[in-house]
Structure 1
Amino acid sequence: MTIAENNTGEQTPATLVTFADPWRPTREQNRTTSESRPRRSISRSRSHRLSVGGDSIHTVRSGISTDATLPIGFRTLSLQLDGAHNAEVVASKAEQHVAKKAKQQAKGTDFETVDFHKTSVNELYQRLATHPTKGLDQHAAVKRLQQDGLNVLPSRRPNYAKKLFGYVFGGFCSILWIGVIIFFICWKPLGGNNPQPYNLGLAVLVMIVIFLQAGFSAFQDWSTAKTMNAILDMLPSDAMVLRNGNFVTTKASQLVAGDIVRLIVGDKVPADMRLTNTSGDIRFDRAAMTGESEEVEGATECTDKNMLETKNMALMGTLVTNGSAVGVVVLTGGKTVMGGIALATASVKEKPTSIQREISHFVKIIICLTVILASLLLFTWIGWLRVKHFDYMNVPAMLNDVMGCVVAFIPEGMPVGVALTLMMIARRMKAADVLPKSLTTVEMLGCVQVICSDKTGTLTRNQMTVTSVGFVDSLLTADDAQAALLNQAGTKALSDLRRAALLCNEASFDPETIDKPIAERTIQGNPTDGAILRFADATESPPSSAVRSAHPQLAQIPFNSKNKFALTLHETGVADGGSCLAIIKGAPDVLLPRCTSYISHTDGIMHAFDAEAKTRLSSLQNKLSRNAERVIMLCQRDYTLASSPNRNMEQELLENCLSNLTIIGVVGIFDPPRPEAKYTVETCRRAGIRFFMMTGDFGLTGAAIARQIGIFSGEAEPDTYATIETRRSSSDATGEKQVQYSSTSLLLEGIEISRLADDDWTVVTGYQEIVFGRCSPEHKLTIINELQKRGFSTAVTGDGVNDSPALKAADVGVAMVNGSDVALEAADLVLLGNFDKIIDGIRLGRLVFQNLQKVISYLLPAGSWSEIWPVILNVFFGVPLPLSSFLMIIICVFTDLFLSLSLIMEQEEFDLLSQPPRNTKKVSIIPHHNATFEPELIFVYFKDHLINLKIYLQSYLFIGVLETLSAHAMFFLYYWRQAGIPPRALFFCFERCQAGIHGYNGAQMAALNTTGQSVYFVTLVILQIGNILSIRNKRLSILQADPFRRQRRNPWLLLAACISVGIAVFVTEVPGIQRLFGTAHVPWEFWLIPIPLALGILCLDEARKAVVRTWPKGLLARVAW
Structure 2
Amino acid sequence: MPENIAPEPDEKEPNDLRITFHDASHPSGRAGRSNAFDRDQTRSLSRKRSLSRNSATSRRDLPSSPYSGVQIEYRTLSIHVSESRNLMQQLNVSQETGLSESSAQLRLQRDGKNTLPHPKTNYLKKILSYVFGGFCSVLWVGVVIFFICWRPLSNPPSPTNLALAILVIIVIVLQASFSAFQDWSTSRTMKSITDLLPSDALVLRDGQLMKLKATELVSGDLVQLQIGNKVPADMRIIGHSGDLRFDRAVLTGESDEIEGSVDQTDENFLESRNIALMGTLVVNGSGVGVVVLTGPRSVMGRIANATATAEERPTLIQREITRFVYIIVALTVVLALIILLTWVGWLRKDHFAYMNVVAMLNNVMGCVVAFIPEGMPVGVALTLMMVARRMKAASVLPKGLSTVETLGCVNVICSDKTGTLTQNQMHVNSVAFVDEPIAIQEAYANLSSDNVDAGVKMLLQAATLCNDATFEPSTLHLPVASRTIQGNATDGAVLRFSADAPVRNEKAEQPTKVFQIPFNSKNKWMLTMYKMPSENQALNEFKVFVKGAPDVLLPTCTAYWSRKSKCVMPLDATAKTAFKEYQDKLSKNAERVIVLCMKNMTIQDAMGTNAFSDEVTSRATDDLTVVGILGITDPPRPETLDTVRECRRAGTRFFMVTGDYGLTAAAIARNVGIFTGERDPDTVATIKANNDAETVKKLNDARVAGECRSLLLEGHSLGGLDDEDWSVICEYQEIVFARTTPEQKLRIVEEFRKRDNVVAVTGDGVNDAPALRAADVGVAIVSGSDVAIEAADLVLLDRFDSIIEAIRLGRLVFQNLQKVIAYLLPAGSWSEIWPVLLNVFFGVPLPLSSFLMIIICVFTDLFLSLSLIMEKEEFDLLSLPPRNHKKDHLINFKIYGQAYLFIGVAETICAHSMFFLYMWKKAGIPINQLFFLFEGYTEGFHGYTQDQLNEFNYTGQCVYFVTLVILQWGNILSVRNRRLSIVQADPFTKKRRNPWLLLSMLISLAIAIFVTEVPGIQTLFLTASVPIEFWFLPIPLALGILALDEFRKLLVRLFPNGPVAKVAW
- Fold conserved (TM > 0.5)? yes
2:822 match: 857
- Matched to 1:640, the amino acid is T
Structure 2 residue 52 is matched with structure 1 residue 75: yes
Contact 2:863 2:1004 (C-alpha < 8 Å) held by counterparts: yes
Give the deviation of 1:493 after TM superposition.
4.0
CA offsets 1:543-596 (integer angstroms, 9 cap, x no match):
7995xx565444333221111122333446545765544333221222232234
- For 1:284-299, list aligned pairs within 5 A: 284-299=246-261
2:1027 match: 1083
Structure 2 residue 430 is matched with structure 1 residue 430: no
Pick from 473, 477, 481 the counterpart of residue 511 of structure 1: 473
Give the deviation of 1:804 after TM superposition.
0.7
1:1066 match: 1010
Higher relative contact order (CA 8 A, sep 6+): 1
- Matched to 2:52, the amino acid is R
1:789 match: 754
Deviates further, 736-745 or 840-849: 736-745
Give the deviation of 1:454 after TM superposition.
0.3
Name the CA shift for 1:482/1:735 in 2 (closer, same or farther; >3 Å). closer
2:433 match: 471
Deviates further, 473-482 or 865-874: 473-482
- For 1:518-917, list aligned pairs within 5 A: 518-540=480-502, 552-571=512-531, 573-575=534-536, 580-645=542-607, 646-728=609-691, 743-909=708-874, 911-917=876-882
Q: What SS does the corresponding residue of 1:233 show, helix, strand or coil? A: helix
Q: TM-score, normalised by structure 1?
A: 0.84
Contact 1:817 1:824 (C-alpha < 8 Å) held by counterparts: yes
Give the deviation of 1:147 after TM superposition.
4.8
Q: Distance in 2 between matches of 1:670 and 1:106?
A: 59
Q: What SS does the corresponding residue of 1:705 show, helix, strand or coil? A: helix
Deviates further, 140-149 or 670-679: 140-149
Give the deviation of 1:853 after TM superposition.
2.0
Deviates further, 581-590 or 610-619: 610-619
Name the CA shift for 1:566/1:519 in 2 (closer, same or farther; >3 Å). same
- For 1:967-1116, list aligned pairs within 5 A: 967-994=911-938, 997-1000=941-944, 1003-1039=947-983, 1041-1045=985-989, 1047-1109=991-1053, 1115-1116=1059-1060
Name the CA shift for 1:489/1:752 in 2 (closer, same or farther; >3 Å). farther
Contact 2:50 2:271 (C-alpha < 8 Å) held by counterparts: no
Give the deviation of 1:708 after TM superposition.
1.3
- Matched to 1:819, the amino acid is G
Pick from 883, 888, 899 the counterpart of residue 955 of structure 1: 899
Deviates further, 105-114 or 240-249: 105-114
Q: Distance in 1 between matches of 2:344 and 2:503?
A: 105
1:22 match: none
Contact 2:423 2:637 (C-alpha < 8 Å) held by counterparts: yes
Pick from 204, 228, 238 the counterpart of residue 242 of structure 1: 204
CA offsets 1:866-904 (integer angstroms, 9 cap, x no match):
112222333333332211222111211222222223333
The alignment-based identity, stated in percent, is: 61
- Matched to 1:170, the amino acid is G
Contact 2:160 2:1021 (C-alpha < 8 Å) held by counterparts: yes
Q: Distance in 1 between matches of 2:948 and 2:665?
A: 84
Name the CA shift for 1:1056/1:128 in 2 (closer, same or farther; >3 Å). farther
Give the deviation of 1:185 after TM superposition.
3.8
Q: Distance in 2 between matches of 1:356 and 1:735?
A: 36
Q: What SS does the corresponding residue of 2:418 show, helix, strand or coil? A: coil
CA offsets 1:771-813 (integer angstroms, 9 cap, x no match):
1111111111011101111111111111111101101101111
Contact 1:706 1:712 (C-alpha < 8 Å) held by counterparts: yes
Contact 1:180 1:207 (C-alpha < 8 Å) held by counterparts: yes
Q: Distance in 1 between matches of 2:68 and 2:180?
A: 28
Deviates further, 579-588 or 141-150: 141-150
- Matched to 2:129, the amino acid is G
2:217 match: 255
Name the CA shift for 1:78/1:913 in 2 (closer, same or farther; >3 Å). farther
Q: What SS does the corresponding residue of 1:1079 show, helix, strand or coil? A: coil
Give the deviation of 1:175 after TM superposition.
0.8
CA offsets 1:115-153 (integer angstroms, 9 cap, x no match):
544444445445545443333455554555455433222
Q: What SS does the corresponding residue of 1:818 show, helix, strand or coil? A: coil
Give the deviation of 1:541 after TM superposition.
5.7
- Matched to 1:800, the amino acid is G
Contact 2:284 2:518 (C-alpha < 8 Å) held by counterparts: no
Aligned residues: 1011
Give the deviation of 1:847 after TM superposition.
2.9
Contact 2:659 2:741 (C-alpha < 8 Å) held by counterparts: yes
Deviates further, 995-1004 or 169-178: 995-1004
- Matched to 1:153, the amino acid is L
1:212 match: 174
Contact 1:469 1:666 (C-alpha < 8 Å) held by counterparts: yes
Name the CA shift for 1:731/1:849 in 2 (closer, same or farther; >3 Å). closer
Structure 2 residue 910 is matched with structure 1 residue 945: no
Contact 2:119 2:309 (C-alpha < 8 Å) held by counterparts: no
Contact 2:411 2:758 (C-alpha < 8 Å) held by counterparts: yes
- For 1:182-221, list aligned pairs within 5 A: 182-191=145-154, 193-194=155-156, 196-221=158-183
Contact 1:557 1:650 (C-alpha < 8 Å) held by counterparts: no
Name the CA shift for 1:291/1:501 in 2 (closer, same or farther; >3 Å). same
CA offsets 1:201-245 (integer angstroms, 9 cap, x no match):
333322332233334433443344345424533445222223443
Give the deviation of 1:344 after TM superposition.
1.8
Structure 2 residue 449 is matched with structure 1 residue 449: no
1:346 match: 308
Q: Distance in 2 between matches of 1:1010 and 1:462?
A: 72
Q: What SS does the corresponding residue of 1:648 show, helix, strand or coil? A: helix
Q: Distance in 2 between matches of 1:912 and 1:435?
A: 21
CA offsets 1:242-281 (integer angstroms, 9 cap, x no match):
3443323232223333332221111111122232221211
Give the deviation of 1:697 after TM superposition.
0.4
- Matched to 2:629, the amino acid is V
- Matched to 1:771, the amino acid is V
- For 1:115-130, list aligned pairs within 5 A: 115-130=78-93
Name the CA shift for 1:996/1:792 in 2 (closer, same or farther; >3 Å). farther
Contact 1:491 1:602 (C-alpha < 8 Å) held by counterparts: no
Q: TM-score, normalised by structure 2?
A: 0.88
2:271 match: 309
Name the CA shift for 1:955/1:271 in 2 (closer, same or farther; >3 Å). same
Give the deviation of 1:154 after TM superposition.
1.8
Contact 2:65 2:72 (C-alpha < 8 Å) held by counterparts: no
Q: Distance in 1 between matches of 2:207 and 2:932?
A: 95
Name structure 1 gaps, 5 residues minimum: 1-7, 9-71, 80-90, 923-941
1:327 match: 289
CA offsets 1:411-433 (integer angstroms, 9 cap, x no match):
11122222222223323333332
Give the deviation of 1:738 after TM superposition.
8.1
Name the CA shift for 1:440/1:1091 in 2 (closer, same or farther; >3 Å). same
Q: Distance in 2 between matches of 1:1086 and 1:545?
A: 101
- Matched to 2:381, the amino acid is A
Deviates further, 528-537 or 147-156: 147-156
Name the CA shift for 1:78/1:895 in 2 (closer, same or farther; >3 Å). farther
2:7 match: none
